[in-house]
Structure 1
């Protein structure tokens, strides 16, 4: 396979976004077809890249044929390929849902901005240097501003302004951290920085460690880790549910950056801080679900809680912990997206009651949405038989080696029970209890069950992750070993280490 294929996940959505922009205003179906076709191609490319990554070590691709660390370099390995496949599958489901439900009719720019969002996410997973990680972060954030405001409304505008302010602050801190790191190491290429950081004398590491902590704080902000989570519930609950479903991958970009940067450059110095804040995030998220009065709020807090569970596994910084995290990561992303798409179906089919957790008259499509809600709830709470249960077992097993094992077990098990109670309360209220008052005398539009296909697709993916748990865990175990093989990554990007007396 040509290494040039590494650029396809970046170039394809860029091209598709531009083409859908050209056709979108007058021929909506052409723009939608281009967007969905792009997502299908991205799935195929991601599968090919996973096959390639499984055959050998990290594969670099120098843009413009400028070698690292002087030029822009993309790096494919098991981790980046895994994330690309997850992004492509999620993007396909969201694009299909938006097209089938007609959400893209509320603004002609949806599909172009959606494709540029995928461009930013894919670039963040592939880049081999921190400055271009910042660039791709900005691309995906700028696109997310447009998607968040899609459909308009005062609530979305207010939440959008807050979201922009928070992320601009994060971007500023990101730049400050990059400036500090460049001043200390003289490079922003991750492989080169890992080499140079290791050579800095212990007495001169203060500035490096301060810059590293600031950078990790930025990634924690992107992952909505306590106490930097405040932006997420309002933003995600205010956005159109399909947009919030796509945004489920954005917190994973922050988690991915922590996985990529900490073991290679900064080591395990932040393990305890990250672990304690992740446990607090779990408690906050699942207790927030219990307090929620609307399904969208509950889904947003569920995403926070499940992301906290993911960060606990990452914060262990062990091979078993990373392997468990990488199995649980696609699960929590797909489960949160499924919940948001199900909520959108409830809002569309239920009528004037919207997503409020209150009893209402029976509505058409109630059985189908109830089944989807049950599947999403089981997945989000981490109950058997779906993959969340396997993922949590893997995380608990990996945590046995941690000094905080008892606390980790207690928090994950207790909050899982809280999540079950919250989801059972919401599900029984919305789908089982019925308002005794007669329904208003108005016609409700009959639901088009084809609109549920993307949600069913996500549920099927969760089932496939469960049935294929053996193959998936073997892949994630090999991925975790590769992530922790710092020397292998450096050699792949920069070339073999020079002989004694030679400059690299």
Structure 2
């Protein structure tokens, strides 16, 4: 694979730079074309890496041929390639959707989207915790500006809360990294996994403090309770196409938990083995519960969808805390499903709000939408998938997660909490659908219809759910293999350190 590992990072970076230069910076059509082309190239590069990793290959790229622990390495395994492919697909859809006119509501939409993709892909590919911090900052800076796209005073207030909390999180991240580096002398994930098991005495306590500080940061990024309060307001006030892209953002925090607390603080970490489990499990259950309450209390479709993000995060963190190959595999399948379906709900909320006039997407009686059949059918498919009803992908993800939890002692509470949350989601989405499509204050529909480009993107994303059912065999096989590869810490460490010590392939 060679330098191909760097392309999911370099392509969006190059695209963002070109989009800031003439003629891209001034010509709308050229800007949209360039942005879509680079998003497509990034997706193609990610899929090539995904196909290569499917043979259980781990590709390590040592930048500058500097070996660990001093060098920076990118690690392309089944988990990272799955997530960069998901990110690149979502980015292509969102950029295409925005090219129907949403990108003109503010400045620099397309370069910011490319920088966001660069940061997210970099976070998924890096094999070093300091560079995880760097890519976190890249994606956060881009997200700050995207939140203000087409902004007003409400978006400014939400963005300010988001910025302040994440600046605090970045400070804690640096402190945690400093503590761990002082104890271990390295921030390379594979090298840390080797050295953390050799700690003794006070160093164990210091490493635990550093690990728990990172847990706070990742919990903030993922939005688990009690660090979730920023998410509903932030996501619901953002431009819907931006909120749709942000569906992948919380997964970065979940991914960081999965990587750090499986490889560094996993079963081979000695006294620090599974140090986060006692925190993650109760917080995950409470996050699902608070997300369900938020869904039921939501006054509009965008807030409802934002609270669905919280439920999905709680579900994923619960799976991580089980420390099981089966639970991790189920979580990876669920990541694909939940990211795409939550994104499509944000986009549907956009079209519905435009066509309902002044009432927007609020769950009150209003004007009928101009395209009730296509929007109603799209909402029905997305709702069934999110609720986990057959024959949609959510049903497979739900059953797999429940089955995985049943095989682990002490996780019996997951069943009632998750099933009750699913029932609450069913009630909330049924209520939302009735207000949005059946209960009208008058019979006069608006004449404004959605651009064909927007409806095509929504249809494409909706098709992903039945396609995940049709191809559930190969997809589940891949996620199971990815989970096994992740939990095989010895193989991961030996591969990364052996390759990085001899330079990139």
TM-score, length-scaled by structure 2: 0.95
Structure 1 265/370 Cα, relative in aligned 2: closer, same or farther at 3 Å? same
Question: Structure 1 pair 46/203, CA: closer, same or farther in 2 (3 Å)?
Answer: same
Structure 2 vs 1, CA of residues 447 and 479 (structure 1 numbering), >3 Å: closer, same or farther?
closer
Determine the structure 1 residue equivalent to 2:269: none
Match of 2:328 in 1: 322
Q: In structure 2, what is the Cα distance between the partners aligned to 1:204 and 1:96? A: 51
Q: Which of the residues 280, 291, 298 maps onto 2:297?
A: 291
Say whether the 8 Å CA contact 2:8–2:42 is kept in structure 1: yes
Structure 2 portions without partners, runs of 5+: 267-273
1:175-214 counterparts in 2 under 5 A?
A: 175-201=174-200, 204-214=203-213
Rounded to whole Å, the distance in 2 between the matches of 1:36 and 1:235 is 26
C-alpha distance in 2 between matches for 1:447 and 1:199: 60
Measured after TM superposition, the shift of residue 272 of structure 1 is 2.9
**Mapped pair 1:474 → 2:452:** no
Tell me if 1:72 matches 2:58. Answer: no
State the superposition RMSD in angstroms.
1.6
CA distance in 1, matches of 2:293, 2:475: 31
Matched, 1:244 2:247: no
Q: How many residues align?
A: 493
Residues 91-102 of structure 1: matches in 2 within 5 Å? 91-100=91-100, 102=101
The one-character-per-residue Cα deviations of 1:154-203 (angstroms, maximum 9, x if unpaired) are 00000011100000010000000000000100001111111111111266
Change (3 A) 1:464 1:488: same
Summarize deviations over 1:252-285 as a string: whole Å, max 9, x none.
0001101111011112222132111111111111
Q: CA deviation at 1:344?
A: 0.7
The equivalent of 1:53 in structure 2 is 53
Residues in 2 aligned to 1:103 and 1:361: alpha-carbon distance in whole angstroms = 23
Q: Which residue of 2 aligns with 1:487?
A: 490
**Secondary structure of residue in 2 paired with 1:406:** coil
Paired residue secondary structure (1:199): coil
Q: Which moved more, 1:52-61 or 1:74-83?
A: 52-61
1:501 — aligned with what? none
Can you give the 5+ residue segments of structure 1 that lack an aligned partner in the other structure? 499-504
> Displacement, 1:33?
0.8
Higher relative contact order (CA 8 A, sep 6+): 2
State the distance in 1 between where 2:252 and 2:316 align. Answer: 12
Tell me by how many angstroms 1:20 deviates. 1.5
1:348, CA displacement in angstroms?
2.1
Answer yes or no: is 1:395 the counterpart of 2:401: yes
Structure 1 328/438 Cα, relative in aligned 2: closer, same or farther at 3 Å?
Answer: closer
Number of the residue aligned with 1:434 = 440
Q: 1:202 to 1:468 in 2, by over 3 A?
A: farther
Task: Quote the residue 2:271 is aligned against.
Answer: none
CA deviation after TM superposition for structure 1 residue 204, in Å: 3.6
Task: Pick which of 261-270 and 153-162 moved more.
Answer: 261-270
Q: Contact 2:368–2:436 at 8 Å: present in 1 too?
A: no
Provide the residue aligned with 1:409 in structure 2. Answer: 415
Q: 1:7 to 1:450 in 2, by over 3 A?
A: closer
Q: Once structures 1 and 2 are overlaid, which stretch shifts more, 451-460 or 122-131? A: 451-460
The answer to whether the Cα contact below 8 Å between 2:333 and 2:475 also exists between their aligned partners in 1 is yes
Report SS of the residue matched to 1:12.
Answer: helix
Distance 1:275 1:417 in 2: 21
| TM-score of the aligned structures, taking structure 1 as reference length | 0.95
Separation in structure 2 between the aligned mates of residue 363 and residue 54 of structure 1, nearest angstrom: 44
For the 8 Å contact 1:331–1:387, the answer to whether it is kept is yes
Shift of 1:41: 1.1
Q: For 2:334 and 2:499, how far apart are their aligned partners in 1? A: 34
Structure 2 CA distance for partners of 1:29 and 1:211, relative to 1, 3 Å: same
Residue pair 2:291, 2:311 contacting (<8 A) in 1 also: yes
Distance in 2 of aligned mates of 1:244 and 1:56: 34
Residue 225 of structure 2 corresponds to 226
Q: Which of 461, 464, 477 lines up with 1:461 in the alignment?
A: 464
CA distance in 2, matches of 1:296, 1:219: 24
**375-384 or 120-129, larger mean C-alpha shift:** 375-384
Match of 1:108 in 2: 107
